Amino acid sequence: MQSYQIQVNKDIVNLTNDLYTGECILFLGDRVKCIFCSSRNVVKNGKRKRNIRTKQSFLCTECKRQFVEVDGFERMRHKPKVIVRAIHMHQDGMSFFKVQTHLWQHDGVRVSRQTLTKWEKKYSNFLKSNKHESKAGHKGSHTRR
């Protein structure tokens, strides 16, 4: 399991990515906040079913507006596990062409290289920042003689 912190709507959230099952789980801390008025007085209000996946829907008791859970992958046409796998493959040294071919052959997902570069720009910021933090902590623990 790999865990990353990302900033969504001015809140730091933890994104846990299980590379074996491909599940992306987002933890928003203790409670969900309304995306409109930032109130923590929200109740569950059914589920939103889409082609990609099903999301929990919430209703704010303060402003009476409905919203879906924030996970950083809003309005994306592809599943989060495909996006995360593509970014990891590219960061592991595969070219965008090879990543594109791999996704088509193994997952049946057709994406352009331009889409892959947009995913890389959008989502790799939190991956890179976490890598640098872990490397910096790792270097400090060893002394060189």
In a domain, 124, yes or no: yes
Confidence at residue 21, expressed as pLDDT on a 0 to 100 scale: 43
Give dist(CA 84, CA 23) in Å, integer. 10
Residue ranges in the chain whose pLDDT is less than 50: 1-2, 7-14, 16-29, 132-145
Confidence at residue 70, expressed as pLDDT on a 0 to 100 scale: 78
Residue among 25, 26, 66 nearest 42 (CA)? 66
In Å, how far are 98, 132, 138, 140 from 144, measured between CA atoms?
38, 20, 13, 10
In a domain, 14, yes or no: no
Confidence at residue 62, expressed as pLDDT on a 0 to 100 scale: 93
In a domain, 30, yes or no: no
Confidence at residue 128, expressed as pLDDT on a 0 to 100 scale: 60
Strands 11-18 and 2-8 come out as antiparallel
Residue among 53, 89, 91, 59 nearest 74 (CA)? 53
In a domain, 140, yes or no: yes
C-alpha dihedral sign at 113, 117, 123, 128: positive
Overall domain count for the chain: 1
In a domain, 47, yes or no: no
Give dist(CA 104, CA 127) in Å, integer. 24
In a domain, 98, yes or no: yes
Confidence at residue 140, expressed as pLDDT on a 0 to 100 scale: 47
Please state the pTM of the whole predicted model. 0.59
Confidence at residue 117, expressed as pLDDT on a 0 to 100 scale: 93
Q: Which domain holds residue 123?
A: 72-145
Residue among 80, 82, 92, 86 nearest 131 (CA)? 92
Q: What is the pLDDT of residues 16-49, one digit of tens each?
A: 444 444 444 444 445 788 989 989 899 999 998 8
Confidence at residue 111, expressed as pLDDT on a 0 to 100 scale: 95
